[in-house]
Amino acid sequence: MADSFISRGFLGKRRQPEVEGRVPPGQYVTPDFPVLSAGPTPHTPLDRWTFQISGLVRQPVSWSWEEFLSLPSKTYLTDIHCVTKWSKLDTQWKGVSVETLFTNIDLDPKAMFVEAFSDGDYTTNLPLEDILHDQAFVAYEFDGKPLQPEHGGPARLVVPHLYFWKSAKWVRGLNLMERDSPGFWESLGYHNRGDPWKEERYRGD
Amino acid sequence: MRKILEWQIATLTRVKAETPTVKTLTFSLPSWVPHFPGQHYDIRLTAPDGYQTERSYSIASEPERGGEIDLTVERLEDGEVSPYLDDVLMVGDQIELRGPIGGYFVWEAQMGEPLLLVGGGSGVVPLMSMVRHWAAAGSKVPVLLLYSVRSPEEVIYSDELNHLCEMRDGLRIFYTFTRQTPPGWTGYQRRIDAQMLHEVVSQISKPFRVYICGPTLLVETAANHLVQLGIAAENIRTERFGPTGPSL
Amino acid sequence: MKTLPMDVNTALMLDGNAAGGMLNEIFSTEMTTSPTQCAHCGRHGELGSLQAFMHGSGAVLRCPACESVIMRIVQTPEFTYLDLRGATFLRLDRAVLNR
């Protein structure tokens, strides 16, 4: 970097005061909610939408939109961190905890990993441990309103303690697996786990 | 012989205000090569802490003008780069550039066929490179520019376009104003739609080439209507500028 | 050409041209005129004609006919990762590559 040409007077716009202890290394705080796009917005009609849990479970489970909305839900207030360096504090969501989804589901003891899959062919992988114990939820409201399509609506996975690419937009289910299977970005150079506090952005970090 | 694309340090030599929010910046390049009208350059800005960001800007000038290029930049209020180019960059300052880039959205006078250019707002910039090249090359192909813009003050290159129309045969311009028209205006005053394109297309002999540039919605709409009017998709080239201008 | 409902994701969609600089860096040549075929639906077209999503964690080029991913590019500080599985082929011009 020392040899790089420096543009006189350029600072970039993302200078924001840091908030003690809440902003992982290399991140800046934004009041916006940037949309990152890898494809056109999927639009599955709600009468055809389902959420499934499949793979290494005794019995695969599927909920329709109505059934999903009548599951016990919670509101969450949390910070989110995107690998492209923005962090948004105090985001408010409403949704169903993954813990709740796993109630009454017999997990095969060999199930160690999860693949979250979405409309539009997006996938992301997580260790099972990272989504249990109320660390992850499937959200259908943001900021008190139904989750907008460009932010992943009708429902998205939210895993606040990992970089936000793990919070799969337009999520349609979780597939439980014995072996880890890198997802859309993990297979192309991004870190397999993505802990923002350890700055695990890229493979090898 | 092919040159590998590399960053070079260009110097700002001239600034011209085109409209209240649009400026043309002229850069002299140590390793200038002639470009094809329609191509762009990438610029890269580096902050003292190493933070970098890049943007692409279409070349506004014609390749016949050697050694330098014009980039026409629209100031976006919440932009990161355009306010820097507008407020901070001064004549004599240097900037990192890479180009020319692009082979898909290009036009050369030797292609020969009549030309329909459809531009929205700052989408007119690469089309202007084509028009200037057309004039400099003394081309005889008929050119029709359909230029959609919000108000008369926002017409970029207004004087030059009028001058070219008067001085040269073969260039026609249809403006359509979507918010405010000039006094006494009898021309189009709405967003580009199927009827407008139908009328415009009926004035060009086929086959012709089409280049459409501007905000994504305008580009999508125009391209779809032209296909429905029977223009072959392979004769239509598009360059979308994204939701807020040429942030590419 | 399909008409997509307009929203932020669609508005962020650009043409393959927008990936021109990135592709030139990788292939050391102008790539936007490179013919390619979609491995999913078979559509032929130049790279410049693909839908390009550049505002994400990486660049994603999609087939304008079926929206399948044709190419993905991620640039980390040290490396460039390239996934071309969605293309049956990419064609590069030898006359241009020869110096």
Residue contact B50–A1, C-beta within 8 A: yes
> Which of B64, B79, B100 is the last residue in one of the domains?
B100
Count of the separate structural domains present in chain A: 1
Which residue in chain C is spatially nearest to A84 when comparing CA positions? Answer: C57
What does the block give as tokens for B114?
Answer: 């009549």
In B64-203, at which residue ranges do the beta strands (DSSP E only) sit?
Answer: 68-74, 94-101, 115-120, 143-149, 171-177
Taking contacts as CB-CB distances below 8 angstroms, the residues of chain A near B53 are 12
Could you give the residue ranges of the DSSP H alpha helices within chain A?
65-69, 98-101
Q: How many CB pairs lie under 8 A apart between chains A and B?
A: 40
pLDDT at B37 over 90: yes
> Residue C96 has what pLDDT?
58
In a domain, B117, yes or no: yes
In a domain, B195, yes or no: yes
Which residue in chain A is spatially nearest to B53 when comparing CA positions? Answer: A12
**Shortest Cα–Cα distance, A11 to chain B (Å):** 5
In a domain, B82, yes or no: yes
Average pLDDT over residues B163-175: 94
Residue type, C78: E
Q: Which domain holds residue B83?
A: 8-100
Instruction: State whether B92 and B127 are in the same domain.
Output: no
pLDDT < 70 regions, chain C = 1-5, 96-99
> Which of B52, B81, B100 is the last residue in one of the domains?
B100
CATH number, residue B142: 3.40.50.80
Task: Match 């066929």 to its residue by tokens.
Answer: B113
> Residue C2 has what pLDDT?
54
Name all chains with 3 or more CB-CB pairs below 8 Å to chain B. A, C
- For residue C44, count other CB atoms closer than 10 A to its CB: 12
In a domain, A20, yes or no: no
CA distance A84 to A97: 26
Q: In whole numbers, what is the pLDDT of chain A averaged over residues?
A: 93
Instruction: State whether B209 and B130 are in the same domain.
Output: yes
Q: Please, which residues have CB within 8 angstroms of residue A30's CB and are 6 or more apart in sequence?
A: A14, A16, A86, A87, A88
Task: Give the residue with greater pLDDT, C8 vs B98.
Answer: B98
pLDDT digits (tens, 9 = 90+) for B49-62: 788 888 899 999 99
Average pLDDT over residues A77-99: 95
Q: Do the Cβ atoms of A191 and A201 come closer than 8 Å? A: yes
Q: Which domain holds residue A122?
A: 28-34+43-198
In a domain, A75, yes or no: yes
In a domain, B1, yes or no: no
CATH number, residue B65: 2.40.30.10
Domain boundaries, chain C: 8-92
Instruction: State whether B235 and B113 are in the same domain.
Output: yes
Taking contacts as CB-CB distances below 8 angstroms, the residues of chain B near A11 are 47-48
> Residue B71 has what pLDDT?
97
pLDDT at B16 over 80: yes
pLDDT band at residue A69 using 50, 70 and 90 as cut-offs:
very high
CATH number, residue A164: 3.90.420.10
> Residue A1 has what pLDDT?
40
Residue contact A12–B9, C-beta within 8 A: no
What does the block give as tokens for C80?
Answer: 């460039």
Average pLDDT over residues B40-44: 93
Instruction: State whether B41 and B119 are in the same domain.
Output: no
Average pLDDT over residues B124-151: 97
> Residue C98 has what pLDDT?
45
In a domain, B32, yes or no: yes
Residue contact A8–B94, C-beta within 8 A: yes
**Shortest Cα–Cα distance, B155 to chain C (Å):** 23
Instruction: State whether B120 and B93 are in the same domain.
Output: no
pLDDT at B3 over 70: no
Average pLDDT over residues A144-149: 96
> Residue C3 has what pLDDT?
56
Q: Do the Cβ atoms of B221 and B192 come closer than 8 Å? A: yes
> Residue A195 has what pLDDT?
97
What does the block give as tokens for A173?
Answer: 């289910």
ipTM above 0.90, yes or no: no
> Residue C10 has what pLDDT?
79
In a domain, A90, yes or no: yes
Task: Match 């290009």 to its residue by tokens.
Answer: B106
Bridge pairing between strands B115-120 and B209-214: parallel
CA distance C58 to C75: 7
Is the bond into B100 cis (omega within 30 degrees of 0)? Answer: yes
Count of the separate structural domains present in chain B: 2
Q: Above pLDDT 90, what percent of chain B? A: 83
> Which of B77, B100, B123 is the last residue in one of the domains?
B100
Which residue in chain C is spatially nearest to B227 when comparing CA positions? Answer: C1
Average pLDDT over residues B142-165: 96
pLDDT digits (tens, 9 = 90+) for A12-65: 766 555 566 899 988 888 888 989 989 999 999 999 999 999 999 999 999 999
In a domain, A5, yes or no: no
CA distance B171 to B174: 10
Residue type, A78: T
Residue contact B47–A10, C-beta within 8 A: yes
> Residue B248 has what pLDDT?
32
In a domain, A203, yes or no: no
pLDDT at B190 over 60: yes
Q: Please, which residues have CB within 8 angstroms of residue B231's CB and are 6 or more apart in sequence?
A: B201, B210
In a domain, A84, yes or no: yes
pLDDT at A143 over 80: yes
Average pLDDT over residues A105-115: 95
Q: Do the Cβ atoms of C35 and C23 come closer than 8 Å? A: no
Average pLDDT over residues B13-21: 96
